[in-house]
Homo-oligomer: A and B are copies of this chain.
Amino acid sequence: MTSRPAAPRRPGLPAPGQPAFVALGSNVGDRRAHLEAALVALGATPGVRVAAVSAAYQNPPVGGPPQDDYWNAVAELVTTLSPEALAARLHAVEAAAGRVRTVPAAPRTLDLDLLSCGDEVCRTPALELPHPRATCRAFGLAPWADVAPDAVVPGTGATVLAHATRLRGREPAAFAALRRVALLRVAAPRGARPAVLPDAEALAAWRARGEGTVGLVPTMGALHEGHASLARRARAACDAVLATIFVNPLQFGPTEDLARYPRTFDADLDLLADVGADAVYAPTVDDLYPAGFSTHVDVDGPTAGFEGAARPGHFRGVATVVAKLFARTRPDRAFFGRKDAQQVAVVRRMHADLDLPGAVVVAPTVRDADGLALSSRNRYLTPDERARALAIPRALDAARARAAAGERRRDALVAAARAVLDGAADVATAYVEVVDPARFVPLAELGAAPALLVVAAKVGTTRLIDNEWLLAPGDDA
């Protein structure tokens, strides 16, 4: 794959570098183009990989002369550069974009701020880390919390999500003024299509070749930007990226949409080429479940209720196929999306309980510009249904706003979300609940531990699920 510098093959973990976060802003000219060009320039920097980028948010200028609205986003990098070298590189990219430094807060083609680099805490005239205004500007914190809610802001002991929620509680208007406007493309010239491994034998041969770390991205195909974001994180963190495409019959109930589930193999390969995946294991049902197959993995606890109740046997099917995929691919890291939050809880539990290899990495949900969480099932929605489905992210946001404002009671938070859902035509709510993300049990009120608001609703004939973090107040509680 000539489009990507060959990763040095190194045995075992850790990742090739440390995470760094960069805020990107532009309010002159084609703002999307400036931000996307900056991502290309960052990705082309030796020692830097772009792991993920938030959506672009449009927001009014803060101070300075009268000027256009800004577009802002935050990128997660994995880098082997020192903070100083990375900061210098950011300045160079700004200069190449035609930025001229005049007065503070003046209009600019491109603004790049290093928010944090590894665990570095440093306060010198030349470099301040984390960025001195990293935790006090809505237009920076909101996209940062999109891309890395769990990351701890160095020197503060609190996560990006906790900072964002705290600030939202203090400055609700600043957050309300933010408007998510676009998904940014993390462009790389399209590489070669990944090697297609049709069976266990081909997979074993591929696996036996490599000596570096392997990042696994298990999918059922019908790939979208959510999958791309997982693969991109794998690309940044591992020496080789292996996706799997398998529509697992075990996890579909008899009345579910197995036959109808979208299959877009050719487009999937293009998407995987775009993100630089090395190989895709796309087995047949017979390859994964040969004649006589009769073993199942069951997880108690987090499978109770919610999707587990609505879809009997679903998590048994998920646990069984994931256990097999871990055994066959032996990943160093496996990437799952937070969108399927209960699945994440089940996979994490099983991964620990069965001593499966490697680490489970959970990446935040990717939302379309209108806020709808990306899902392969969104293809089933008519334009009208899709518009109605936006009640789901709006409901999540209503509850988040209440939590940020100090609400701790489950009943009030659920009611805030339900009110939005109940106000939407043709949206049949299956459940709304506040849960512990690991055990997936309802919480009566928010405490010091992380809490998720989870929603399932049927829009037309399509069942959608979504979730969002509520306040994780920690020492703020």
Contact = CB atoms under 8 A, between A and B. Distances in A.
B349 A294 contact: yes
Interface in A321-378: 323-324, 327-328, 349-350, 352-357
Given A324-B354, A327-B356, A295 B295 contact: no
A119 interface: no
A35 interface: no
A349 B295 CA distance: 7
Given A327-B354, A355-B324, A355-B327, A319 B300 contact: no
Interface in A38-87: none
Q: Count this chain's copies in the assembly.
A: 2
A298 interface: yes
Contacts of A302: 294
Interface string A442-476: 00000000000000000000000000000000000
A11 interface: no
Interface residues of A, number: 27
A292 interface: yes
A208 to B, nearest CB: 10
A123 interface: no
Contacts of A294: 299-302, 349, 353
A297 interface: yes
Contacts of A200: 355
A352 B200 CA distance: 12
Nearest to A438: B292
B355 A328 contact: yes
A297 B300 contact: no
A301 B292 contact: yes
A146 B301 CA distance: 47
A296 interface: yes
Contact of A295 (B293, B327, B350, B357): B350
A81 to B, nearest CB: 31
Nearest to A289: B353
A411 B268 CA distance: 58
A294 to B, nearest CB: 4
Contacts of A327: 354-357
A296 B350 CA distance: 9
A298 B301 contact: no
Nearest to A293: B353
B328 A295 contact: no
A439 B291 CA distance: 12
Contacts of A352: 290
A299 B328 CA distance: 19
Select the residue from A290, A293, A295, A319 with max chain B CB neighbours within 10 A: A295
A353 B291 CA distance: 10
Nearest to A303: B294
A297 B297 contact: yes
Contacts of A350: 295
A327 B327 CA distance: 9
Select the residue from A298, A349, A350, A355 with max chain B CB neighbours within 10 A: A355
Contacts of A356: 327
A297 B356 CA distance: 13
A301 B302 CA distance: 27
A354 B299 contact: no
A43 to B, nearest CB: 35
Contacts of A355: 200, 324, 327-328
A302 B350 CA distance: 24
A360 to B, nearest CB: 14
Contacts of A301: 292, 294
Give the 9 A-B CB pairs with smallest separation, nearest first.
Answer: A295-B353, A327-B355, A294-B301, A294-B300, A295-B350, A295-B299, A296-B298, A328-B355, A293-B353
Given A294-B302, A296-B298, A324-B353, 10 more contacts: A200-B355, A292-B301, A294-B349, A295-B300, A295-B349, A296-B297, A297-B298, A323-B354, A327-B355, A327-B357
15 contacts: A292-B301, A293-B353, A294-B299, A294-B300, A294-B302, A295-B297, A295-B300, A295-B319, A295-B350, A295-B353, A296-B299, A297-B298, A324-B353, A324-B354, A327-B354
